[in-house]
Structure 1
Amino acid sequence: MKTEIYLRPLTVEDATISSKWRNDPKIWVFTKFVSSGYITSEMERQWILDRINRENEKRFAICLKINNQYIGNIQLLNITTESAEFHLFIGERQFWGKGVGYCASILLLKYAFYNLDLNCIFLEVHADNLAAFSIYKKVGFKPITQSGNFIRMGIDAKSLKGITLTT
């Protein structure tokens, strides 16, 4: 059975849940993010508050359609008139491997290309993060370069043509 999801804007109220994810080292194994210590709910709240209204960032919560449960984040950062940087993580580990990352990626890319009228999206993925790499390839991202453990990938608006998603 497919896990049906939707995206909604990230809010400061999400900090209570997302602060727990920030303190789960398994979520951050393959990222450049390294916490310098325990992240409290208030620290996370302030972090979200500082970012949700930035003009060059669009941050979304990934939620389950069945019960509105908040299970992860997906975002576009460093948005310009042409491009943006893509970030994704599923904080609720029981939803890893359930197609959530793929569905969320398609939804965000459609938003980026059709609503924001961007031409290309880039991301960096750890070379050992085979699950994420697989999602990104399935969506249409192509490897561009590799620097150390990280592979830079990109996708342009034409790559989404023909990909359908019913959520």
Structure 2
Amino acid sequence: MIKLKPLTPENLPSFYKWIKDEEAIIYSLSIFQAMKTDQQIEDWYAQAISDKRNSNHGIFVDGVFVGYAGISGISTINKSGEYFIFIGDKDHWGKGIGTQVTQMIVKMGFEELGLNRIMLSVSVPNVGGVKAYERAGFVLEGRYREAALRNGEYHDKLVMSVLKSEWKP
């Protein structure tokens, strides 16, 4: 069973392991690529849990903390935000958790946060992510060419969004 809960200081130790795992962060936030010390991770985490412009949630599967997801850059004027998800626990990859969490966060964005549009960007090589977003109702809007550099190679990022008027819960 998947539950979303607020991030707490007790969740921090998992991030030390995940952010130092190159495979876990390959398609994630660029800032994760730059963090090398525990102090950098602590500083980022403290900012993440205190930032009120974002809706951050821990992902728990059968009580085990496996990642986090939410909506960042929430604009109350434009009624929009940017979806993100990071499943750091590789034992939980490929099990449909990303799709379910995406659906849960989109629902929260529309029903609780009153958003009209939720967008995201995803690396083209992240095929599982693209499929999860499509299953959750996101549609392709465009492409950022050679927008990310990982392992010495550039790859494109896709821009996708879902509108409240098109969303099917």
Instruction: Give the alignment's TM-score, normalised by structure 2.
Output: 0.86
Q: Which residue of 2 aligns with 1:85?
A: 82
Bigger relative contact order (CA 8 A; separation at least 6): 1
Q: Which residue of 1 aligns with 2:149?
A: none
* Partner Cα distance (1:74, 1:37) in 2: 19
Instruction: Give the alignment's TM-score, normalised by structure 1.
Output: 0.87
Structure 2 residue aligned with 1:131, among 128, 133, 148? 128
Q: Which residue of 2 aligns with 1:73?
A: 68
Q: Compared with structure 1, are the counterparts of its residues 39 and 75 closer, same or farther at alpha carbon in structure 2 (3 Å cutoff)?
A: farther
* Partner Cα distance (2:104, 2:69) in 1: 10
* Partner Cα distance (1:103, 1:145) in 2: 24
Q: Which residue of 1 aligns with 2:28?
A: 31
Structure 1 residue aligned with 2:160, among 125, 130, 153? 153
* Partner secondary structure for residue 52 of structure 2: coil
* Partner Cα distance (2:8, 2:93) in 1: 23
Letter in 2 for 1:159: E
Unaligned runs of 5+ in 2: 146-155
Root-mean-square deviation (Å)? 1.5
Identity between Structure 1 and Structure 2 (%): 25
Matched residue count: 156
Note the C-alpha offset of 1:18.
Answer: 1.2
Q: Which ranges of 4 or more aligned residues in structure 1 deviate by more than 4 Å?
A: none
* Partner secondary structure for residue 133 of structure 1: helix
* Partner Cα distance (1:49, 1:36) in 2: 17
* Partner Cα distance (1:159, 1:14) in 2: 35
User: What are the equivalent positions in structure 2 for 1:1-167 lying under 5 Å apart?
Assistant: 4-33=1-30, 34-40=32-38, 42-64=39-61, 66=62, 68-81=63-76, 82-148=79-145, 149-161=156-168, 163=169
Higher strand residue share: 2
Q: Compared with structure 1, are the counterparts of its residues 117 and 35 closer, same or farther at alpha carbon in structure 2 (3 Å cutoff)?
A: same
Unaligned runs of 5+ in 1: none
